[in-house]
Amino acid sequence: MQQKADHQVPVLVVGGSLVGLSLSLFLGRLGVRHMLVERHSGTSIHPRGRGNNVRTMELFRVAGVEPDIKTAASLLADNHGILQTPTLAGDAGEWLFKEIDPGGGLARFSPTAWCLCSQNDLEPVLLKGARALGGDLRYFHELESFAQDPEGVTAYVRDRDSDRLYTVRADYLVAADGPRSPVRGRLGIGQSGPGDLFANVSVTFRSKLLADVVGDRRFICCYLTDPGADGALLPVDNRENWVFHAPWHPEHGETLEEFTEERLRRHIRHAVGVPDLDVEITGKASWRAAERVAERYAADRVFLAGDSAHEMSPTGAFGSNTGIQDAHNLAWKLAAVLGGWAGPGLLGTYDTERRPVALATSARASARSVEHSHPGFAPAPGVGAGKRGGILNVVLGYRYPEGAVLGADPERPVVPDGVHLTGEPGTRAPHLWLRRAGERLSTIDLYERSPVLLCDAGSAAGTAWHTAARRIAGTDGVPLEAYRVGAGAEAELTCEQDGDDWAAAHGTTADGAVLVRPDGFVAWRAPGAVPDPEAELREVLGALLHTR
């Protein structure tokens, strides 16, 4: 007989950085009780991981924290593009890209946009949001060990302040404990990929004169390419606080101890091109860029998310975004299984869906570092040799060829050449502006807590789909929402633009229907009417949710 644990929760999250905090927020939104333990005493104090892509911002929008994130990010709201130049003295150099969204074309695809918010500013917003939803978040608490059995996981956690050891019994454990993940190590899960790519020493510093040197060049990042002192400069407030990434070469025997404050001051002055620049070093941290993906994302009741599952080159900010999207994918599946409206088999689709995305995205991140000649990166043959081009197809257009989807083409690539959000199963559902009882919202705003069926308000087949969905929701225990889209008294939703056709946008007809998952991905679609829509829907849901 198992001894009673000190605490019992459905989910234990290990790691309280961006991914762990995002998972806590998403679980809280879905009403899943959980505990989070983080060995550090608080959120990040170093301004890093600042690029939050449009897909991540969609998730934060639906989770209700987008306004607070934009407030936290206000100092860098006008910074765009990446500049590459020998030094900042003079006007030499070129923009690798000057605008994140030139021409405003992104508005066709999404209700939100990219947001530049450094990790030290973003994490407190997520922490506040997660705690407001009832999350039990414990900093300066460290997982020491854990053991699984068929019914759950028993974890042994140490309160580092009191040195007290206590036990936590959870149905599931999620490891968001970083690239050197102790949990992944204890599970014996290996990694694939090229491994370490390059290393940097990241320096925070204060300089009152640097803003005058930068002038009106409001970059996200500036690659300084002088061979004697290359590196990357990033603004923190565009006034006097800055970050500099200096190349570090441990593969040549170079040690961290060699990066003294005096050396770093000389390096920054040389790189910027101003020999007498005022430089006050305020912090220093080393980091290594790598391309690795775990060989599997789960072992029974333990799951990997974020850097514990994958490491990526920082160029393009793919790593943290992929991790946050891991957390979102896993959160709704845990909620469904714990809520009893999905079978445990649904959790197996987490690996099936997210691991191929990480493999494709990590390769693209390395390719981006090669394209940008990232300081300190001398790629080995074959590394970063992937497909070049834009990144919107990577961040918004990726797809799940297999998993909790029906009707997807398993032969199609995970990352397509372009952005084709046309309602195909396995892709993120299209964005359209709608009206609901006078309120303006995006289709993206409909998807969070339950599967959603969209059907047409103007056809008899649409009414039949709607009736079937309502009946299933009332009798089968699946929290299925159904909306009729169109004009007239029967419509719960109307398209804001007169010319918009919701059915055409989703690749179906007025007699068809589209089923969208809680994470906003299309699970299945019917091209037209069927003889028995209730039986059809019940069969589809059973297959998707692993209840049959």
**For the domain with range 193-290, which CATH number is right: 1.20.120.140, 3.30.9.10, 3.40.109.10, 3.40.50.2300?**
3.30.9.10
Which burial class, exposed, middle or buried, applies to 388 when counting CB atoms under 10 A from its CB (0-12, 13-18, 19+)?
exposed
CA-CA-CA-CA torsion sign (101, 104, 108, 112): positive
Q: Residue 341 forms beta bridges with which residues?
A: none
Fold of 433-545: Glutaredoxin (3.40.30)
Question: pLDDT per residue over 144-166, tens digit each?
Answer: 999 999 999 999 999 999 999 99
Distant-in-sequence, close-in-space partners of 161: CB < 8 Å, separation ≥ 6? 140
Q: Domain segments of the chain: what residues?
A: 7-77+114-190+295-395, 193-290, 433-545
Instruction: Name the residue with tokens 């990997």.
Output: 304
Smallest Cα–Cα separation from 330: which of 394, 401, 405, 404? 404
Assign a CATH topology to domain 7-77+114-190+295-395.
FAD/NAD(P)-binding domain (3.50.50)
Q: What is the pLDDT of residues 390-446, one digit of tens each?
A: 788 999 999 999 999 999 999 999 999 889 999 999 999 999 999 999 899 999 999
Cα–Cα distance measured from residue 79 to residue 355, given in angstroms and rounded to the nearest whole number: 32
pLDDT attached to residue 368: 73
Domains 7-77+114-190+295-395 and 433-545 agree in fold: no
Identify the CA nearest to 39 among candidates 55, 60, 16: 16
For the chain, residues with pLDDT lower than 50 are 1
Q: What is the pLDDT of residue 378?
A: 59
In the prediction, which pLDDT does 377 show?
60
- Which amino acid does the sequence have at 158? R
Q: Max CA-CA distance within the chain?
A: 80
The reported pTM is 0.94
**pLDDT tens string 285-302:** 888 888 999 999 999 999
Structure tokens at 378: 């001398």
| Lookup: tokens for 137 | 């978040």
Q: Which residues pair with 232 in a beta bridge?
A: 223, 245
d(CA 504, CA 486): 12
Q: Directed axis angle between helix 18-29 and helix 119-132, to 10°?
A: 30
* Chain length of the chain: 548
